[in-house]
Chains A and B, each alone.
Chain A
Amino acid sequence: MVKRHLSRIYMTLIFLFLYLPLLMLMVLSFNRSKSRVTWGGLTLDWYRKCFENERIMSAFSTTLQVTLLAAVIATIIGTLAALGIFSMKKRNQTLYLGATNIPLLNADIVTGLSMMLLFVRFMNLGFVTVLLAHITFNIPYVILNVLPKLRQTSRATYEAALDLGASPLLAFYKVTWPQISPGVFSGFLMAVTMSLDDFSITYFTKGAGINTLSTMLYTELRKGVSPELYALSTVLFFTVLLLLTAANLHPEPVNPDSPRRLRRKSHIKRAVSLAVIALLTGGSLFVLAGSTSAAPAGKDRVLTVLNYGKYLDPRVLKEFEQKTGIQVRYEEYESPEEMYTKYKAGSIDYDLICTSDYMIEKLDKEGELLPIDYGTLAHYDNIDPRIIRMSEAFDPRHDISLPYFYGTLGILYNKKEVRPEDVESWSCLWDHRFKGDMIMTNSVRDAFAPALITRGYSINDTDPGHLQSAMELLAAQSADVSAYYVDETCDEMAAGNAKIAVCYSGEAAEAMEVNSDLDYIVPAEGSNLWIDSWIIPKTCSQRKNALLFLDYLCEEDVAMTNFSYVFYASPILSVIRDQKPAYRTIEAVTPSSSTIDRCQVYRALDDDSAALINRLWQQLKTE
């Protein structure tokens, strides 16, 4: 009796461990307030926003397409393979099964990157590469489910059918198939499960603008969580709950008790399973039909754009697509170094890239950039000539870059916890009072800049000794740092999870809009002033459309919409003129001229210094 109670309690505890987190997401999805701890009243708004959110919906439909196509193809190839392997000699069987086990035993990350290494040699990464990868890791599950069933079949019945005059195909259909079909079916379901949940392999094999739910969520989570995701998780949870309880798909423990009940059960099971398949196929056909009609296709009308995260209002993209009929494949990155790798990998041919000053200088030196013909831009005069002059630091001839946004690196702090005089100098980053309450930037050069300045060097210093001493300073800081973030900083500071953070001015401005206790300061010793600009890389095949896109961004209305979304200092004259007067005095939105005078622009590092600084950074992270 005691034992029974104990086991009840134990089950309940694990049950709570599994479900409380999900329950929390569900509750939050109905919360009007964006905060995760205060209740702002009941709302269904997040559900509406979730269904209207194009990124979520397109990731959802890609996930369904990949999952279904991959599972169907893998089931066909896998079942044929199982039939073939079954009729082989023992030695060949062992060989095949050994190879089949490779994707199962190998770590996902290795499977994913190995395929990426091969794919980039022969094709652009995209939907097809993801599909190929998914089929590859699905096939083994099908084979391992079908083979045991084949081993249970009796060869004698099949041969009897042949003797009675059935053709091999008919004999297979009438005799073998009924015996192996449950195995084929459970293999198919496992393939679906694995595909739906995969992250690592998709992450390495996906191309620009293609996202499954997992990879979309990964990028979104790094940018900070929006409540639409709570709604999404609730919807998914109930869909899964409905499908699974209806189908009871889980392989039943076969008990040799009552064969009659079992048989009836299997009939029901098959009926429900068929219904599920029909539902899934129907759903995905619907989605496929929807997506093909929405995409005008035609390769010359697709523009591939690479930009920082949260750096372009999705509405602007949508309007551009509607207005011009050009489809934009849009991809985001977090740090300039990540962009450089993505571009240099050559796995995706980008048409337009937005990146920072020193990276532009580096790419230009490597001869990677095409000149921009400003004459074709009708709205070029809308760009502040001051900023164009400033960008001559990295684009001396001014022929390869078009300024997009600019800003500073500084400190965002919570006025309730920190006095302004405590953060006037970069030395506050080594103030132990902020232990565990300090967010450091996760971008290499921006992390080294404060340390170099504190040591009295320039932010462009490349002397190995100086870099080493800056790294020692950063190492002394790391015990006090609560996290290294870039795009997550805004969210975390707005939620009050830290007292101070090193971040970009625009990030700070956004956080200050949400939480009025926050303020932004550029320390007295000076800092980095950066200018993010658009460039056209050598891989561009859509020069005319790329220029069309750039011109569109400089239009007055578009620039204003985009500014209110991005919230960094804009070099567009009409935006400077029309923005709320209050913004002009906020340091985080519009850097004052005294700040600009104190700041320096980053210069490109030579390869050796870049490698050294990267190595020091990794060393810091593991210590």
Chain B
Amino acid sequence: MNRRFRPLLAGPYLVWIVGFTILPLLAVVWYAVTDKSGRFTLGNLAAIAAPTNLHALFLSFGLGLITTLICLVLSYPLAMILAGMNIRNQSLVVLLFMLPMWMNFMLRILAWKQLLSKNGVINTLLGALGLPEIAILNTPAAVVFGMVYDFLPFMLLPLYNSMTRIRQDWLEAARDLGANDIVIFVKIILPLTLSGVISGIVMVFVPSLTSFAISQILGGGRVLLIGNVIEQDFMQAMQWDEGSGLSLVLMIFVLVSMALMNQFDREGGRTALW
């Protein structure tokens, strides 16, 4: 094919992006800046400042942060161990850790609901051991449990991928030159896995910030995240304008945090995405 015409191959895609990505976003913007009668307003954007919405946004931000941190702390050592394993078993073991990700997302939440409920498995076990019961279902803690469980693979995978790119001989060279384990970790492993850390954070933080299904099911209607507010605006309260306003704010919020993250990562984390 002539080189001049090759860019035309992207034609169908261009139509697709405009039709199903750009136009829908413009529709959100349109709803966000107009009221029910179609007049221009900034009220829908300002709705984020209402105490209930602000509270929901802060709660989402907090829970998202906690979830991301827990995932990072749990995955980092695990990724190191996995990357340092005997090559032959490595891919199989990694696969085992990834496997729950291919199970349906809702079924994973279902499992936690059953485990945590008041007369559930955990409390029955605790009772049998004579320990006090825990009552965390329908609290933010249960939501964090669910999110960590759901999103852990998204953190583990990029970390693991960046770990496997560290060549063993670099570490040996450092050791020969007299570096101890801590120095090797700080000077070599950490900087080389930074892009993995960043993509892991992005891949866990965004879904946990904006989730609404997990908080609905594990929060018992008592944990209202910004995702729940938006979902209710659209699906129950018939307030598409305000819902769009909040979505737009959320979108900007996500993009800004992403831009901030990318400041730490000059190489661009895309290569480590999967």
Interface residues of A (CB under 8 A from B): 7, 10-11, 14-15, 17-19, 21-22, 24-25, 28, 36-37, 77-78, 80-81, 83-88, 92, 96, 99-100, 102-103, 105-111, 113-118, 121, 132-133, 135-136, 139, 143-144, 148, 168-169, 172, 190, 193, 196-197, 199-200, 203-204, 213-214, 217-218, 221-222, 225, 229, 232-233, 236-237, 240-241, 244-245, 248, 250-253, 255, 257, 335, 337-338, 340-342, 344-345, 436, 442, 478, 481-485, 492, 495-498, 614, 618-619, 621-623
Contacts and interface: CB of A to CB of B under 8 A. Distances in A.
A113 B247 contact: yes
Contacts of B265: none
B50 to A, nearest CB: 9
Contacts of A252: 91
A381 B255 CA distance: 62
Nearest to B6: A87
Contacts of A436: 135
A340 B238 contact: yes
A36 B121 contact: yes
Given A11-B81, A15-B97, A80-B13, A204 B234 contact: yes
A169 B222 CA distance: 60
Nearest to B8: A84
Given A341-B236, A436-B135, A110 B210 contact: yes
A11 B207 CA distance: 25
Contact of B119 (A116, A496, A622): A496
Contact of A622 (B9, B55, B137): B55
Contacts of B41: none
Given A7-B81, A621-B222, A92 B7 contact: yes
B220 A483 contact: yes
A244 B102 contact: yes
A188 B271 CA distance: 18
A429 to B, nearest CB: 16
Contacts of B65: none
A416 B103 CA distance: 39
Contacts of B96: 15
The 9 closest A-B pairs by CB, nearest first: A84-B10, A483-B220, A484-B221, A81-B13, A21-B111, A114-B24, A107-B210, A84-B9, A217-B106
Contacts of A240: 99, 102-103
A115 B20 contact: yes
A132 B20 contact: yes
Main secondary structure of the interface of B (DSSP, over half): helix
10 contacts: A22-B111, A111-B24, A221-B109, A233-B104, A248-B95, A341-B234, A436-B135, A482-B138, A495-B117, A495-B119
A85 B52 CA distance: 45
A113 B114 contact: no
Given A118-B27, A240-B103, A498-B118, A341 B17 contact: no
Given A21-B112, A139-B13, A484-B220, A105 B87 contact: no
A139 B12 CA distance: 11
Main secondary structure of the interface of A (DSSP, over half): helix
Contacts of B92: 245, 248
Interface of B: 1-3, 6-14, 16-17, 20-25, 27-28, 31, 51-52, 55-56, 74, 77-78, 81-83, 87, 90-115, 117-121, 124, 135, 137-138, 149, 152, 161, 164-165, 202, 206-207, 209-210, 212-213, 216-217, 220-222, 224, 227, 229-232, 234-238, 240, 243-244, 247, 250-251, 254-255, 258, 270-271, 273-274
A109 B235 CA distance: 12
Contacts of B235: 338, 341-342
A250 B94 contact: yes
A447 B129 CA distance: 39
Contacts of B82: 11
Contacts of A221: 106, 109-110, 113, 217
Contacts of B217: 218, 221-222
Contacts of B12: 77, 80-81
A621 B59 CA distance: 13
B10 A11 contact: no
Contact of A85 (B10, B113, B213, B227): B10
B167 to A, nearest CB: 9
B115 A21 contact: yes
Given A37-B119, A84-B11, A229-B107, A218 B213 contact: yes
B229 A618 contact: yes
Nearest to B153: A18
A118 to B, nearest CB: 4
A292 B24 CA distance: 32
A80 B14 CA distance: 11
Contacts of A86: 6
Nearest to B219: A483
Nearest to A615: B52
B104 A236 contact: yes
B151 to A, nearest CB: 12
Contacts of B258: 105
Contacts of A257: 87
